[in-house]
Structure 1
Amino acid sequence: MGFLGNIIRGILNFTYVILSSCCACVFFMFPPLVMIRPFSKTLYYKINNKVAGSWFRYLIFQTQVVNQTTVKLHGSEQLKPNESVILMMNHPSEIDWLYSWVLANRVGSTSCIKVILKDQIKYVPGIGWGCDNLDFVYLTRHWEFDEQHIQYKMELYTETHTKPWLVIFPEGTDFDKDKQLKSWAFSEKNGHPKFNNVLLPRHKGLHACIEPLRTHQNLDAIYDITIGYESKPTIFTCMIGTNPTVNIDIKRIPISEVPKEEDALQKWIYNLYDKKDKLLQQFKDNGNQFPSPYIIPKVGLDVYFFSILWYTFMIMAFYLMSQHTLLLYYFIAVVLFFISSSRFKSLREFRGLQLPQHTKKQ
């Protein structure tokens, strides 16, 4: 497919992702929000997680089938079903989170994914609203608020009997040379280690995630996930279908082996990232290949089934809206509600998306 064809393909893919996520929020997540959540948060989140899990399988379909991205899993036997875990990932690109669904789907945990995200994502139509409905964790980079907000979300997972697969990027942002230089400067100034293939990890956010879950016995393990690419992908290359091969190294760390004290956790994560840095150097020196054996996971029938289901639903939804004005008005009204929810703190507080003290200072 030529350059123009790739551009058209990218536009179509992006449009479908936005529209399908909007429809998921409007037709499948909004009704439980008003009819079920006031009476049962647990049932509400169970429904939303199932809806999201089916849509996440479309992302797997898009990645592995449509884009034909080769995913190599090193240590996949360490993935365990029915666990509450934190996926601690390095951050070499802006699409690393995408592969958390591939990992989760290996053990039937696709519906359990939760991600810690930048606050700006909540404004993205469809995707941001869905992340809100699933209680993903938006961070403002104001620690006095973020710390309490993280704890609030972790306690909410326990309260609603959710066993999360929580994705966290301790580096805080994706890796590039400019950020590496800033990371080195910070490390030199503060006496921290310097790494060549990762940025200095931040331990406070990880600690804030671990302890509320550990306290309520809702955390079984941390997965130390290391991602290596042949070339750095972007959202653009993802949409036009030119993703490179992705290599994912998986190590399971039982929560009993993770320090409880914050200072000890800082040393622990620095040591872990030192090993991760060396592993990535091996990856580069070995021709973009981790040293351990790997498997290339097959795409399951569930991925095909739910992808076809979502394509069919999208066609039906927009056809019905074109034929029934009331349905179209409903769609517009709910879209306006979600836009308002992303922008007005009073509505976010009313919905329980954040507590008043979590609101970012103006």
Structure 2
Amino acid sequence: MLLSLVVHTYSLRYWLPAAVMLGTAPAYLLPWSAWRLLSVLLPSRLYHTVDDRAYSFYQSMVLFFFENYTGVEIIVYGDDIPKKKENVVYLSNHQSTSDWIIADVLAIRQNALGHVRYVLKHGLKWLPLYGWYFSQHGGVYVKRSARFDENAMKKKLSSQAKVGTPMYLVIFPEGTRYNPEFKKVIDDSQTFAAKEGLAVLKHVLTPRMKASHVAIDAMRDHLDAVYDITVAYEGTLTADGQRRPAPSMPEFLCKECRRVHIYFKRLDMREIPPEPLFFRRWLHERFEIKDHLFQLTMAVDWLGFAYAAAIALGGFMGYKRKGSVMSLIAGLFFGSVSAYGAYRISFDPHDYWPSLFASGSLAVVMGMRFRNSGKLMPAGIMAGLSLLMVLRLLIY
């Protein structure tokens, strides 16, 4: 009975925001459809102005669930995000169904949420409600490889640039999500890179250049910059350098991702080579940087390391004052285990078992010693610190 209640309560963490977002979609799309029919007789720029404002309002509600309801911490590194709106192409690595919302997270910081448009794979155009809307909002559906219609994409983007449509075009050049469980996709990507004489990437897929090149080429005079974005969900890289799958949208809404690390790089249009061959090399080099950044995106568990240092210092002080070899050995042992645990938590907040073992053991041992001796130093202090550490690990 209790287990069933826990399971149902946990599922509500996802179904509540999902129901609100899906339930409001028809309410949003019905008046929008009326506006779209009316705007056929009006200038295209006017349609996009109203549409962008309405989309910004709707997406603000969606962002509330992803950023406020989940309590996720967004950590941005690299360049400062410009305060003013810009016409940009947004290039990012792709690993989760939540990736599209990260673009919104950054766009709203420039008050450009309504200008976000996407380059999406062709199959998504049949998505109920949203499929047709994304196209009318300015998005582009593309097919892969030989079926890619370069002229259609160039025509649509050029026409929007011509009438001055604000542009925050989101592209995931990898073409599909990186998932460490899809070994064949990763192997094929790495084999292709090696065959073409490109650097083999470990944490991202080899980028496809066609859609990115067409978009930038078609709107070069309209664009202010290219935003090169690297997204890393905390907990997807283990201490031994192995990748784990990024959280899905349900997992994200269920608050299973504590932090999202975003490396933001603004590239001036003069830095982007127009020639296809050089553009391909340039794009791959940008993804080489992303590959390297994945090894650096960890949040150091400073509290855990401080706790480990306190244990080791306590053991040393016991040895120095009373000549207790056992205090020294215990201090060094539990201090080392705690430091190792803090190191693992720095890569994955859920990997807390070494830290829990050390703090739990010390809470029991030092608690019993405090009860027998009644001395605050060192037994009482260390028992209290260890108990607080146990609570932090279990609650956090």
Matching of residue 265 in structure 1 with residue 279 in structure 2: yes
* C-alpha separation in 2, matches of 1:235 and 1:26: 25
- For 1:23, the aligned partner's letter is A
Residues 332-347 of structure 1 mapped to structure 2, 5 A cutoff: none
TM-score between the two structures when normalised by the length of structure 2: 0.68
Measure how far apart 1:169 and its partner are: 0.7
Matched residue, 1:182: 188
* C-alpha separation in 2, matches of 1:195 and 1:142: 20
Question: Closer, same or farther in 2 for the Cα pair 1:174/1:162, shift >3 Å?
Answer: same
Cα offsets for 1:278-321 (capped at 9, x unmatched): 111222697459xxxxxxxxxxxxxxxxxxxxxxxxxxxxxxxx
Matching of residue 233 in structure 1 with residue 244 in structure 2: no
Question: Closer, same or farther in 2 for the Cα pair 1:188/1:143, shift >3 Å?
Answer: same
* C-alpha separation in 1, matches of 2:298 and 2:151: 39
* C-alpha separation in 1, matches of 2:255 and 2:6: 12
Greater shift after overlay, 155-164 or 57-66? 155-164
Matching of residue 154 in structure 1 with residue 138 in structure 2: no
Measure how far apart 1:155 and its partner are: 1.4
Number of aligned residue pairs: give it.
286
Cα offsets for 1:207-242 (capped at 9, x unmatched): 10001101xx21111111011111321022134343
Match for residue 5 of structure 1 among 6, 9, 17: 9
* C-alpha separation in 1, matches of 2:22 and 2:147: 33
Matched residue, 1:31: 34
Greater shift after overlay, 83-92 or 178-187? 178-187
Matched residue, 1:329: none
Measure how far apart 1:20 and its partner are: 1.4
| 1:229–1:288 CA contact under 8 A, matched in 2 | no
Measure how far apart 1:12 and its partner are: 3.0
Segments of 5+ residues of structure 1 without an aligned counterpart are 290-362
Matched residue, 1:316: none
| 1:37–1:43 CA contact under 8 A, matched in 2 | no
SS in 2 for 1:281: coil
| 1:48–1:133 CA contact under 8 A, matched in 2 | no
SS in 2 for 1:260: coil
Match for residue 253 of structure 1 among 263, 267, 290: 267
| 1:233–1:244 CA contact under 8 A, matched in 2 | no
* C-alpha separation in 2, matches of 1:230 and 1:78: 21
Measure how far apart 1:151 and its partner are: 0.8
* C-alpha separation in 2, matches of 1:142 and 1:113: 25
- For 1:229, the aligned partner's letter is Y
* C-alpha separation in 1, matches of 2:137 and 2:267: 26
Residues 205-220 of structure 1 mapped to structure 2, 5 A cutoff: 205-214=211-220, 217-220=221-224
Greater shift after overlay, 2-11 or 277-286? 277-286
TM-score between the two structures when normalised by the length of structure 1: 0.74
Residues 39-50 of structure 1 mapped to structure 2, 5 A cutoff: 39-50=42-53
* C-alpha separation in 2, matches of 1:116 and 1:223: 15
Question: Closer, same or farther in 2 for the Cα pair 1:42/1:154, shift >3 Å?
Answer: same
Matching of residue 274 in structure 1 with residue 288 in structure 2: yes
Q: Which structure is richer in relative contact order (CA contacts within 8 A, separation 6 or more)?
A: 1
Aligned sequence identity (%)? 26
Measure how far apart 1:9 and its partner are: 3.4
Greater shift after overlay, 262-271 or 145-154? 145-154
Larger CA Rg, structure 1 vs 2: 2
| 2:63–2:104 CA contact under 8 A, matched in 1 | yes
* C-alpha separation in 2, matches of 1:184 and 1:170: 15
Question: Closer, same or farther in 2 for the Cα pair 1:123/1:19, shift >3 Å?
Answer: farther
Matching of residue 98 in structure 1 with residue 101 in structure 2: yes
Match for residue 21 of structure 1 among 19, 22, 25: 25
* C-alpha separation in 2, matches of 1:162 and 1:219: 11
- For 1:247, the aligned partner's letter is H
Greater shift after overlay, 40-49 or 183-192? 183-192
* C-alpha separation in 2, matches of 1:96 and 1:2: 29
Greater shift after overlay, 102-111 or 14-23? 14-23
Cα offsets for 1:31-56 (capped at 9, x unmatched): 22111223321111111111101111
Alignment root-mean-square deviation, CA: 2.1
Cα offsets for 1:329-357 (capped at 9, x unmatched): xxxxxxxxxxxxxxxxxxxxxxxxxxxxx
Question: Closer, same or farther in 2 for the Cα pair 1:31/1:120, shift >3 Å?
Answer: same
- For 2:48, the aligned partner's letter is Y
Residues 270-309 of structure 1 mapped to structure 2, 5 A cutoff: 270-283=284-297, 287-288=346-347
Matching of residue 119 in structure 1 with residue 99 in structure 2: no
